[in-house]
Structure 1
Amino acid sequence: MSDKSVDGLEIQLETKEAEYKAFISSLNDLNTQVSGEQERLNLLRNQGAELQNARAQALLNMNEQYEAMVDNPEQDIAQAQNAYRQAIINQKRNKEEIKESVQLQEELKAKLAQANLERFTLANAREALIEEIRIARVKRLRNEFEKQGELQAKQMVTCDAQETLKQCITRSNQLAKQKASKEFVDSLYAAATESKLISNYKDDSAAQVRLLKHKVISGEFSGQGNYTTSVTVELQGSLPNVEACKLLNLSARYCTYDEEHPATAAINVDSGNNISLDDNSVLYEVTIRSDQYDDEVFIDGVSYGSTKLSVMLSAGMHDIVITKPGYLDYQQSLRLIKNTTIKAELVKASINFANGEKIQDILPGDELGPELIGIPAGRFQMGDMKGAGLSNEKPARGEEILKAFAIGQSQITVGDFKRFVKATNYVTEAESENGCAAYIDGEPQYNSVLNWRNPGFKQTDEHPVVCVSDRDSKAYLAWLTKQTERKYRLPNELEWEYVARAGSVDNYWWGNDIGNGKANCAYCGSKWSNISTAPVASFRANKFGLYDIVGNVWELTNGAKVVARGGAWNFAPKLARTSVRLELSPGFRSNYLGFRALREN
């Protein structure tokens, strides 16, 4: 069993980083070989043109010598013959070298395609370790804070003339307990492994202690009207809700990922032994307004209708989202500790999303084809714009979609593909060859029993079809084209990123942080993460109305190379960013690879 401690995981990451660095070096060498062989091939082809001219000139010279020999039988034509013979030999040798170079170029390109796939395997393993380290750091900090301890505190107060002796004693005892609580919290911060880091966020933290019990050891008045008390206090540390993530400067999703540590109730020290719990039993009123009519409010993913809205919510963290077609979403993470009013201003989107049209073609037998969304033409920014991308995501650039098109609202499902197979008796590459790849020990390995019917996990007709290759997807789309008499194909990378961004320049269409429970990818907080695909449309659609554009399964695109986009259920969040490009070898299929249909006008 691998070491899941922070130190153990960091050692694994260091090893993986070294492996990745060495692999990138070898990949660069392979790219250099490909470029070098291409230059050599270009040179040979240029030489071929020159040799063709040389041969033609040698033939012309030899024919002229033959004509001269007619008038002069003594004419020596041997030199011209030899020159022509040599020209033929040179040209033949050049053609053989070109053939050898073309074959070598194909072999190198195949190696490069496989290497690019291996690079993503290593990158995913590296990102998974980074995710595990962050989760382990949260666990470690919680364990360091959620400790019990006993402290003794001494407090002297000057009794106020306006208070009774009993009130003075009570105040002294209370201050002693608060003093002990403060010392206990400070000791937790000082003893933490990442004490230096978390001290930067201490002032805004809601780290708390729970007063378990206390005992007054002694108390006495002095002749100057002072009262001194000495108490022993037993305390329990607490990091409620997402406080561990705040202290470590991590996304809140790392604090909700581990079910072994549910959000802890916030605890306040009260007078005596009473404890006030800030939990689900405490409700506050939240009033939500916006400057638009006919909007829709989502609280923690549940629709509450349009504004103006007043609702009672439990204390703690809530995600507030206000949407309206044609406008950018208003988003706010709210830590509810009092009655609150939210006044939202919705900003009109730069692209007119309101004219998106739902389209669904009819197949023979009155069956329905995939549900599509009409997409308008427009301009957008493509590529990595946040500096976290791989080399094949750069440079970021402005692009333009010149013609409107329609694209699948969801990824092609098992049910969609089943209709195609039933109608055509089509056999996928996974079924006819060596099966389908699945991640085993951090890398894709083919398993002969895996295919689109049996991907290695439970699925229904509503799950995205997987274990299909580029050829399989195009066969399905060609059949769909024939059945509907409409042109269906895979989206190219330009079209895919345009609809995936839906006007955003961030890592994901909703922002730069993957958040928690917003998509099906590894460590993304859904019940399918790192387990299987999810039924399509299990998460909120983007502004174009498209589901699962982030995560669930990688989506094949149309182009000179086989490239997939969008991330998958078993890939790290960083590899589900909108600009990430997964280059695959031809014929590759896996239980995390599917596709989405595009229909031309």
Structure 2
Amino acid sequence: MIRVNGGTFMMGCEDKRDKDCEDNEKPAHEVTLSTYSIGKYEVTNAEYAVFMNDVTANPNRVDNLDRYITEHEWGLQKTTVNGETRWQPAKGYEKYPVINVNWDGAVAYCRWLSNKTGQQYRLPTEAEWEYAARGGENSEKVNFQYAGSNRIDEVAWYGDNSKGTNPVGRKKANQLRIHDMSGNVYEWCQDWYGDYSGNKQTNPGGANSGSSRVYRGGGWNYGERYCRVSYRNYSTPAGRYSPLGFRLAL
């Protein structure tokens, strides 16, 4: 986990500062955040498999785990060993980001890890995600379009240089030593999706209610405009897609 010192930044897209602004990235607005921590890497297949197998082995579990994640040739696969269901990463994909996991599955992992460690793991808010992607306290100084650079190939796996997901941490990190916040896989955030108000905010948590959750960062099969640090997208919490995973916050 990487400590992100609190601070104030302009969240969203400004035509004078950024490029390819979309309507739902406006208006840019001032946000102040308290100090928090965020994952240096996206959660991997190997890490998520430990969760799935631990919960599967719990005789008191009530969750239907199949609703959290879909098997994939680059992701997790379900097998039967001595009559017991086991989840394992596809061979050679242990350090690749977990994919095809929905918002509920990401939150369930956070809760499981919190119970295991005594730490309060969670998904980052959308504001925390963007602040970290922009470089935290350095965001106004560096002002990069992508997380760590204005040259996307330095920091991101995306549609022009990738045919699938890649192991986490292979591309250059941003100013906070965080990897893959642009490209590789989109990342779920805590927030309900909603329009920006334009008002100054402190530790915002997004819309009060909604039907879709935010995800950020761009994916391996998307163009460079989708990997910008201000780009926003969303899905119903049940959505499971091959370019969609998550990282932790604390």
Same fold per superposition (TM over 0.5): yes
Aligned pair 1:429/2:67, yes or no?
yes
Q: For 2:231 and 2:247, locate their aligned partners in 1 and report how far apart those are by CA, in whole Å.
A: 17
Counterpart of 1:506 (choices 139, 144, 160) is 144
Number of equivalences = 205
Query: Equivalences for 1:68-87 in 2 at 5 Å?
Result: none
Deviation at 1:566, TM superposition (A): 0.4
Is the alpha carbon distance of 1:451 and 1:460 closer, same or farther for their aligned partners in structure 2, counting shifts above 3 Å? closer
Residue number in structure 2 paired with 1:571: 222
CA contact (8 A) 2:155 2:173 kept: no
Counterpart of 2:76 (choices 453, 463, 466) is 453
3-state DSSP class of the match of 2:215? Answer: strand
Aligned pair 1:418/2:49, yes or no?
yes
Deviation at 1:585, TM superposition (A): 1.9
Counterpart of 1:482 (choices 115, 140, 151) is 115
Deviation at 1:484, TM superposition (A): 1.1
Residue number in structure 2 paired with 1:465: 98
Q: Which amino acid aligns with 2:157?
A: N
Residue number in structure 2 paired with 1:557: 189
Residue number in structure 1 paired with 2:173: 541
> More helix per residue: 1 or 2?
1
3-state DSSP class of the match of 2:76? Answer: coil
Higher relative contact order (CA 8 A, sep 6+): 2
Deviation at 1:542, TM superposition (A): 0.7
Residue number in structure 2 paired with 1:492: 125
What TM-score does the superposition give when structure 1 sets the normalisation length?
0.33
CA RMSD of aligned residues (A): 2.2
Is the alpha carbon distance of 1:546 and 1:510 closer, same or farther for their aligned partners in structure 2, counting shifts above 3 Å? closer
CA contact (8 A) 1:566 1:580 kept: yes
* Partner deviation per Cα, 1:28-80 (whole Å, 9 max, x = no partner): xxxxxxxxxxxxxxxxxxxxxxxxxxxxxxxxxxxxxxxxxxxxxxxxxxxxx
Deviation at 1:513, TM superposition (A): 4.1
Residue number in structure 2 paired with 1:405: 36
Deviation at 1:547, TM superposition (A): 0.7
- Note the residue ranges of structure 1 that are not aligned, 5 or more in a row: 1-371, 437-448
Aligned pair 1:375/2:10, yes or no?
no
Query: Equivalences for 1:126-137 in 2 at 5 Å?
Result: none
3-state DSSP class of the match of 1:500? Answer: helix
* Partner deviation per Cα, 1:446-500 (whole Å, 9 max, x = no partner): xxx779415xx87521111011000000000000111111111100000000000
Deviation at 1:586, TM superposition (A): 2.5
Is the alpha carbon distance of 1:541 and 1:476 closer, same or farther for their aligned partners in structure 2, counting shifts above 3 Å? same
Residue number in structure 1 paired with 2:209: none
Q: For 1:587 and 1:557, locate their aligned partners in 2 and report how far apart those are by CA, in whole Å.
A: 14
Deviation at 1:511, TM superposition (A): 4.1
Q: Which amino acid aligns with 2:170?
A: S
Deviation at 1:509, TM superposition (A): 3.5
Q: Which amino acid aligns with 1:373?
A: I
Counterpart of 1:520 (choices 157, 163, 167) is 157
Q: For 1:590 and 1:543, locate their aligned partners in 2 and report how far apart those are by CA, in whole Å.
A: 29
Deviation at 1:505, TM superposition (A): 2.6
CA contact (8 A) 1:450 1:467 kept: no
CA contact (8 A) 1:383 1:397 kept: yes
Counterpart of 1:580 (choices 209, 219, 231) is 231
Pick the structure with greater CA Rg: 1
Q: For 2:150 and 2:174, locate their aligned partners in 1 and report how far apart those are by CA, in whole Å.
A: 14
Is the alpha carbon distance of 1:511 and 1:421 closer, same or farther for their aligned partners in structure 2, counting shifts above 3 Å? closer
CA contact (8 A) 2:45 2:95 kept: yes
3-state DSSP class of the match of 1:559? Answer: strand
Deviation at 1:381, TM superposition (A): 1.6
Is the alpha carbon distance of 1:576 and 1:423 closer, same or farther for their aligned partners in structure 2, counting shifts above 3 Å? same
Deviation at 1:506, TM superposition (A): 2.9
3-state DSSP class of the match of 1:558? Answer: strand
Q: For 1:395 and 1:563, locate their aligned partners in 2 and report how far apart those are by CA, in whole Å.
A: 17
What TM-score does the superposition give when structure 2 sets the normalisation length?
0.76
Query: Equivalences for 1:264-279 in 2 at 5 Å?
Result: none
Is the alpha carbon distance of 1:566 and 1:415 closer, same or farther for their aligned partners in structure 2, counting shifts above 3 Å? same
CA contact (8 A) 2:6 2:35 kept: yes
Q: Which amino acid aligns with 1:470?
A: W
Deviation at 1:406, TM superposition (A): 1.2
3-state DSSP class of the match of 2:214? Answer: strand
**% identical aligned pairs:** 31
Counterpart of 1:392 (choices 10, 13, 24) is 24
